[in-house]
Amino acid sequence: MGKIMTKKIQDSIFYKTFVDIYASYPAALSNAPGRVNLIGEFTDYNNGFVLPCALQYSTRILFKKRSDTMINVYSTHYPGEAEKFDVSQEIVPGDSQWGNYIRAVAFVFKREGFLLHGFDMLIDSDVPQGSGLSSSAALEVSVGGMFNYACELGLSPAKIAVLGQSAENDFIDCQCGVMDQMISACGIKGHAMLLDCESLETRAVAIPDDLAIVIVNSNYPRRLVDSEYNQRRIDCEQAARKMQVSTLRAADMVKLNTVKDSLSLNEYKRAHHVISENQRVLDAVDALKNNDMAVLRELMSASHYSLKYDFEVTVPATDGLVKICATALQGRGAVRMTGGGFGGAIVCLCRTDDIASITNAVEAEYEKQFNLVANVYVCTVGEGLKVTEIV
Ligand code: ADP
Ligand code: MG
């Protein structure tokens, strides 16, 4: 755990806001980043491989331990809205949607048997919400980091990640995989993370210095996608069962083709995506190591079209954005949709010199073609959870 020079943080509006609200000084800062998944989509719940990387955007919490069991929270994103609950009482969902993320983490930490006490907290974040950069995981991991540090629980970052995922699965009722929380908790500066979702083993993969990461959020409104998500998961599970493997991680193309006749067309296509995507993740690790843009382009393009035709989770707006950016890059970059699909964001890997051609092309073409305005985020690679005492 590092120490923050008092001057730097004390000068921030964030710090002053904490002092204004609570009339006392925060003791520490918990900081956890948002993320982008470079490749490996819908492989996590099939126990496969993913390759996310932490971003410079992060969610920070200034906090101070209280002598009682009250949790008081404010967020700079929701000025004037106070969230308050007693950790010694049963933790149930409250009226505030954002406040439920704090309750969710407290709920699972308590369920694990950890003794929690009260805190005064202030949240600040530059992770865009609902834009596919996983602001929810950044928040959960940041809260988990605070409990771990201040309640002296001695948890590993990976354990904090798993508890963050449980918070989202069991309290928020969003059945996400563990990728977002793992990269937010365990990301290493300057590196993407190859994560084996079966063993939770990780390997740091250096991002070449001249590689830029640009995320473009389509702002396409997602509607009624829960049943679609669930159906994809059922198709994958059903395909695995028919191949007599516990998850699609253990399947391969030979096995898939031997049982092809017993699978529905959708089961076949979903399994085909997952099996091919797992291999693309491993190949992308090598391509990043070799800084080989041509191979990255092929892999990311194959991933996108597999998500379009086999997994069927793209929409015209994200397909269109991929085309706009790929055309602008003229073969000098790699582009695909990223995240949960049915809208959301795309990710482009390119050289720093080519960033402007992406932003210009999106500005010139996207609204004209889709009547929507996209947000472009030029990213740098951040690092995972850090809790720092303020001295
Ligand atoms: P994503 O994770 O893709 O950004 P989600 O819908 O999963 O989108 O999570 C966004 C929700 O997380 C927000 O609606 C809000 O409830 C909560 N949240 C995220 N960041 C903050 C923040 N800085 N302060 C308060 N709540 C936040
Ligand atoms: Mg989320």
- Rounded to the nearest integer, the mean pLDDT of the chain is 95
Ligand 2: distance of its center to the CA of 85 in Å?
23
Q: Region 98-107: what's the mean pLDDT?
A: 98
**Contact yes or no for 47/40 (Cβ under 8 A):** no
Contacts of 43 (CB under 8 A, 6+ apart): 49, 50, 197, 274, 277, 278, 281
What element of type H or E holds 387? strand 386-390
Residues of CATH 3.30.230.10 domain(s) within the chain?
2-205+383-390
pLDDT > 70 in the chain, percent: 98
Tell the residue nearest (CA) to atom 15 of ligand 1.
Answer: 98
The answer to whether the CB of 160 is under 6 A from ligand 1 is no
Ligand 1: distance of its center to the CA of 129 in Å?
5
Distance CA 27, CA 52 (A): 31
| 352 pLDDT tier (thresholds 50, 70, 90) | very high
pLDDT in tens, 39-49: 999 999 999 99
Distance CA 348, CA 362 (A): 12
- CATH code at 2-205+383-390: 3.30.230.10
Q: Is 260 helix (H, G, I), strand (E, B) or coil?
A: helix
In this predicted structure, what is the pLDDT of residue 268?
98
Q: What's this model's pTM, rounded to 2 decimal places? A: 0.94
In this predicted structure, what is the pLDDT of residue 3?
58
Neighbours of ion ligand 2 (CB under 5 A): 136
Residues of CATH 3.30.70.890 domain(s) within the chain?
207-379
The answer to whether the CB of 139 is under 6 A from ligand 1 is yes
Q: So which residues are the catalytic ones?
A: 180
CATH superfamily of 207-379: GHMP kinase, C-terminal domain (3.30.70.890)
The answer to whether the CB of 59 is under 6 A from ligand 1 is yes
Ligand 2: distance of its center to the CA of 142 in Å?
14
pLDDT in tens, 241-266: 999 999 999 999 999 999 999 999 99
The answer to whether the CB of 221 is under 6 A from ligand 1 is no
**Contact yes or no for 240/270 (Cβ under 8 A):** no
Q: Locate the ligand 1 atom nearest the alpha carbon of residue 124 and give its number.
A: 23
Contacts of 232 (CB under 8 A, 6+ apart): 42, 270, 311, 313
What is the distance, to the nearest Å, from the Cα of residue 81 to the centroid of all Cα atoms in its chain? 26
Distance CA 263, CA 65 (A): 56
The answer to whether the CB of 58 is under 6 A from ligand 1 is no
80 vs 268, which has greater pLDDT?
Answer: 268
User: Exposure of 282 by Cβ count < 10 A (0-12 exposed, 13-18 middle, 19+ buried)?
Assistant: middle
Among the bound ligands, name the one nearest to the CA of residue 77: 1
Q: Evaluate if residue 281 carries a pLDDT over 80.
A: yes
Ligand 1: distance of its center to the CA of 138 in Å?
9
Distance CA 195, CA 193 (A): 6
Partners of 196 in the beta sheet? 49
The answer to whether the CB of 166 is under 6 A from ligand 1 is no
Give helix 135-150 / helix 99-111 axis angle, nearest 10°.
Answer: 50
Q: Locate the ligand 1 atom nearest the alpha carbon of residue 339 and give its number.
A: 3
